[in-house]
Amino acid sequence: MKSSNFNKYKVAVIGCGYWGSIITNSLLKIGIKKIYIYDQNYKNTLILKKKYKNLIITKSYKDLLNDKTIPFFFFATPPSVNFKIVSKAIIKNKQIFLEKPGFIKINEFKKINTLLDKMKKFIMFGYIYCFNNYINYIKKIIQSKKLGKILYIRFQRENLGPIRADVNSSYDLSSHDLSIILHIFNKLPNPIKHIDYQVLKKNISDISNLHMKLDNTYIDINSSWLNPIKVRTITVVGEKKMLFFDELNLNNPLRIYDKYAKYPDMSKFDKKFINSKAQIYEGNSKSIIINNKSPLINEINHFFISMKNKKKPLTNNKFSYRIINFLNRIN
């Protein structure tokens, strides 16, 4: 279905901060003409309207909820306020897209799931990496076994800011990497150890190091909003090949290395054989270039198509619940 089919849709964007303005920009790009914006801080709606002239500012959330002609609600609001405002929109039967991590209190999330189940509805969560063509390529290559058995995966997600006041770095940042793991393997790992540091102030950790195991694969997630440079990488170590994805490298983001290390199979040698050194094989590497259309536009298209066809979106509330449940356990 073409994006142009959506251009008659009426859409509300709740929360006009950093990410709300990026969502608005993408909605405009796919041709949505009627975008109603609302923010608790009125100034932020004015700033957004200055940037994109055709937006319609709404001063009352209640009025938006009561307007039956506006079916689609995009929330880019802090997790601490979401339970209150999103549950009202569910009751009003709105079609909802909610930015990750969405809800972080498990009892609130359970109430939302019960309400949605009762109404036979799903909401979609903005786990953008599930709509990234490179991530989907990595998923395919892991599943194809071209890398061999996967021994180790490391996710690094670091930057200076944005520093959140209501969630720690694992909810804010590692949730993205957990969504990638869940998307690729259809399950989450078992936690081994979570080491996090509250550096700037008490009660919110700025740095999170999460060590886990999924079947026989060790997985680490390093997240920090206290790093001088932006890092967004994934390293996959397979038995046969290795892969390195650097989202910020626009020319050469994904490379597959024909490299591996292994110990010789000692059972194949007689007892006199004493060289048990690991063998290292270093072959060529190959750069993979994919047409990576905006993941956010892919994501928004998926939302509209799912809602139109009354289909469960990929990153639905059950998907997100697994991530938040995991994060609740390790925090």
Ligand X SMILES: NC(=O)c1ccc[n+]([C@@H]2O[C@H](COP(=O)([O-])OP(=O)(O)OC[C@H]3O[C@@H](n4cnc5c(N)ncnc54)[C@H](O)[C@@H]3O)[C@@H](O)[C@H]2O)c1
Mark 158-191 as b/e (b = at least 16 C-beta within 10 Å).
bbeeeebeebbbbbbbbbbbbbbbbbbbeebbee
Question: Residue 13: which of 87, 88, 96 has the closest Cα?
Answer: 96
Alpha carbons 4 and 306: distance in angstroms, whole number: 16
Q: Does 16 bind ligand X (CB under 6 A)?
A: yes
**CB-CB contact of 184 with 96 (8 Å):** no
**CB-CB contact of 307 with 114 (8 Å):** no
Minimum CB separation from ligand X for residue 34, in Å?
19
Q: By CB under 6 A, which span of 38-46, 201-209, 253-261, 278-286 interacts with ligand X?
A: 38-46
Q: Report the amino acid identity of residue 241.
A: K
Minimum CB separation from ligand X for residue 50, in Å?
14
**CB-CB contact of 231 with 158 (8 Å):** yes
Question: Residue 44: which of 25, 59, 66 has the closest Cα?
Answer: 59
Q: Between 85 and 236, whose beta carbon lies closer to ligand X?
A: 85
Residues in contact with ligand X, total (CB under 6 A)?
A: 23
Q: Does 162 bind ligand X (CB under 6 A)?
A: yes
Q: Does 295 bind ligand X (CB under 6 A)?
A: no
Q: Does 19 bind ligand X (CB under 6 A)?
A: yes
Q: By CB under 6 A, which span of 33-41, 213-221, 266-274, 321-329 interacts with ligand X?
A: 33-41
Q: Does 283 bind ligand X (CB under 6 A)?
A: no
Q: Does 100 bind ligand X (CB under 6 A)?
A: yes
Peptide bond into 79 cis (omega under 30): no
Alpha carbons 294 and 170: distance in angstroms, whole number: 25
Determine which residue in the list 9, 11, 20, 181 makes contact with ligand X, applying CB under 6 A.
20
Q: Does 76 bind ligand X (CB under 6 A)?
A: yes
Q: Does 42 bind ligand X (CB under 6 A)?
A: no
What percent helix, strand, coil does the chain show, rounded to 5? 35, 30, 35
Minimum CB separation from ligand X for residue 269, in Å?
51
Q: Does 253 bind ligand X (CB under 6 A)?
A: no
Minimum CB separation from ligand X for residue 73, in Å?
11
Determine which residue in the list 35, 70, 124, 126 makes contact with ligand X, applying CB under 6 A.
126
Q: By CB under 6 A, which span of 14-22, 64-72, 109-117, 315-323 interacts with ligand X?
A: 14-22
Q: How many residues does the chain have?
A: 331
Q: Does 65 bind ligand X (CB under 6 A)?
A: no
Q: Does 294 bind ligand X (CB under 6 A)?
A: no
Minimum CB separation from ligand X for residue 126, in Å?
5
Q: Does 108 bind ligand X (CB under 6 A)?
A: no
Q: Between 100 and 302, whose beta carbon lies closer to ligand X?
A: 100
Peptide bond into 191 cis (omega under 30): no
Q: Does 189 bind ligand X (CB under 6 A)?
A: no
For 244-266, give the DSSP string.
Answer: EEETT-SSS-EEEEEEEEE---G
Question: Residue 255: which of 265, 245, 268, 264 has the closest Cα?
Answer: 245
Q: Between 158 and 172, whose beta carbon lies closer to ligand X?
A: 172
Rounded to the nearest 5°, which phi and psi values hold at 47?
A: -65, -40
Determine which residue in the list 28, 56, 57, 81 makes contact with ligand X, applying CB under 6 A.
81
Chain contacts with ligand X (rule: CB under 6 A): 14-20, 39-41, 44, 76-79, 81, 85, 99-100, 126, 128, 162, 172
